[in-house]
Amino acid sequence: MAEDRDHKKLGKELELFYIDETIGKGLPVWLPKGAAIRREIERFIVDEEIKRGYQHVYTPDIARLALYEKSGHYPYYKDSMYAPIKVEDEEFMLRPMTCPHHFQLYLSRPRSYRDLPMRIAELAKLYRFEQSGELMGLQRVRSFCLSDAHIICKSEGEAVQEMGQALDLIEFANGVLGLEFGKDYWYRLSLGDRADTKKYYKDDAGWDMAEKLLRGLMKKRGVKFEEMKGDAAFYGPKIDVQMKNANGKEDTAFTVQYDLSSPVRFNLTFVGEDGKEHRPFVVHRSSIGSIERTIAFLIEKYAGAFPLWLSPVQVKVLPISSEKHLECAQDVYKSLMDAGIRAELDESNETLGKKVRQAKVEKVPYLVVIGDKEKETRKFTIEGRNDEKIEGILIEDFIARLKEEIKNKS
C-alpha cells in the first residue's frame, strides 16, 4: 500500500526527521538516524564527483541582492525567494541557488583555455519560499541541500560532452542507490517558449541551437524521453530526471541544464590558444538533486528497509539476559563500533522475542543474539531482517562480511 511507503509516515516511525512548527513549516529537522543516511549519501557523491574531476567548494548561504539582479534570478524568481534583508544600507538575500556564487568564483581571476572545462561543485544549502499548500515532508521544503555544479566549457561540443558525462554520473549514482531507469526514473527534455519573453531569456537562435543539441544528445544515448514545452529554466533548456512518490505525484529529482544567459550577464571569458578573449559555454547539473527529495524517494522505494550501507543502524546486539549476557554483548558492540559499523546495544529487560520484534520494526539489517552458548564459545548467531541466519560465526569474520557488503553498496 502507498500509505505504508509514505516517507512522512515512515520518517516519523523510524525517527529519521520531523517538522517542528516552532522552527517553521517546510524546515525539516534531521534526527540522528536520518542524519546517518544523509551523511552516507553526501560522502558518496562528493567522493565520486572528486574522482570525476569536480572541484568542490563552499560559498555563502547569503549574498547581496545585486548578485541576483545581475544573474537575472531577481526578478525572474522573486516570488520564490525570501524577502531582502536590510543591513547597513545594503540588501541581502538568502540564496535560492548557487550559480551566481560559482560564476563570481570563476571571475575571481583570469582564466585560460587550459583551465577548462572547469567543474565547480558544492553541496549547497538553499532557501526557497514555497507556498504553505505546496509543502510536503522532505519532497517540497523551504530549506534544502542541493548537489549542485556548474561547468564552464570552451566550446559547444565540450558542453555537450560534459552534459553527457553528467548524465553518466546521474545514471551511475542512481544505480548505486538502487534506482532503475524506466521503473524508478525517466527522462524529460524541458523546452522554452519563444513567445514568452517575460518568462524566458530572449535569444531565439540560441534557444534553437541549445534545444537541438540537447535533443541530439538524448537521441545519441538511445534512451526514451518525453518533451515538455514551456518547462525550461529561464536561461535555457534542460534534461530532467523525473520520479514519482508513493502517492503518484511526479517531481523533478535531478537535472542537467544548458545556460544561454549567464555567460553574457556575468561577462564570463577565457583566453584561448590564439591569445584572445572568448565567451565560454555553461552547463548546470545536479548529480543526485536535493538531498531531502532524494532521501524521500529512497524511504518510499525501500519502505524504510535500506540497504546495509545506508541503514541508520546496521547491527543490533541483543543479549538474552541483561544480567548474564550483558558483558559479552558490550564487548561485541564495542568491536562493531570500533570497526566503523553503526550498531546499537539493547540493554532493556524485555524478552528476546520482544527485542527481536522491535528491531524488525526498526528495519535493522542484522541482529546478533547472545546467550549462554555465545558467551562461552564467542561464536555468534546472526539473524537477518529477511529471516536469514548465520550460525557459529566469530565476530571478526562477521565484521569482515559487513565491511565487504558496505564497500560494495550491495
pLDDT digits (tens, 9 = 90+) for 176-199: 999 999 999 999 999 988 777 777
CB 269 within 8 A of CB 103: no
pLDDT at 1 over 70: no
Mean pLDDT (the chain, rounded): 94
pLDDT at 2 over 80: no
Question: Lowest-confidence range among 62-76, 256-270, 327-341?
Answer: 62-76
Tell if the pTM clears 0.85, that is, is over it: yes
**CB-based burial of residue 264 (10 Å sphere; 0-12 exposed, 13-18 middle, 19+ buried)?**
middle
pLDDT at 390 over 80: yes
pLDDT at 156 over 80: yes
What per-residue confidence (pLDDT) applies to 39? 98
What per-residue confidence (pLDDT) applies to 90? 95
User: For 210-251, how does the pLDDT look when each residue is reduced to its tens digit (9 = 90+)?
Assistant: 999 999 999 999 999 999 998 888 888 999 999 988 888 888
* CATH number for region 2-302: 3.30.930.10
CA distance 151 to 114: 14
What per-residue confidence (pLDDT) applies to 249? 84
What per-residue confidence (pLDDT) applies to 233? 82
Question: Lowest-confidence range among 57-61, 227-231, 276-280, 403-407?
Answer: 227-231
Long-range contacts of 346-352 (CB under 8 A, 24+ apart): 346/316, 346/317, 346/318, 346/319, 347/319, 347/322, 348/322, 349/322, 352/318, 352/320
pLDDT at 409 over 90: yes
* CATH number for region 308-408: 3.40.50.800
What per-residue confidence (pLDDT) applies to 234? 83
Q: For the stretch 317-350, what's the b/e string if a residue is b when 16 or more beta carbons lie within 10 angstroms of its beta carbon?
A: bbbbeeeebbebbeebbebbeeeebbbbbbeeee
CA distance 131 to 251: 16
What per-residue confidence (pLDDT) applies to 197? 72
Instruction: Give the domain ranges of the chain.
Output: 2-302, 308-408
pLDDT at 4 over 90: no
What per-residue confidence (pLDDT) applies to 196? 76
CB 214 within 8 A of CB 239: yes
What per-residue confidence (pLDDT) applies to 226? 95
**What are residue 64's DSSP bridge partners?**
92
* Banded pLDDT at 200 (limits 50, 70, 90): confident
User: For 23-36, how does the pLDDT look when each residue is reduced to its tens digit (9 = 90+)?
Assistant: 999 999 999 999 99
Question: How distant is the alpha carbon of residue 404 from its chain centre?
Answer: 24
Name residues whose C-beta falls within 8 Å of residue 331's C-beta, 6 or more positions apart in sequence. Answer: none
CB 91 within 8 A of CB 109: no
CA distance 402 to 338: 13
What share of the chain in percent tops pLDDT 90? 86
CA distance 4 to 301: 11
Asked, as a colleague might, if the bond just before 117 is cis with ω within 30 of 0, I would say: yes
- The mean pLDDT of 286-311, rounded to a whole number, is 97
pLDDT at 47 over 90: yes
What share of the chain in percent tops pLDDT 70? 100
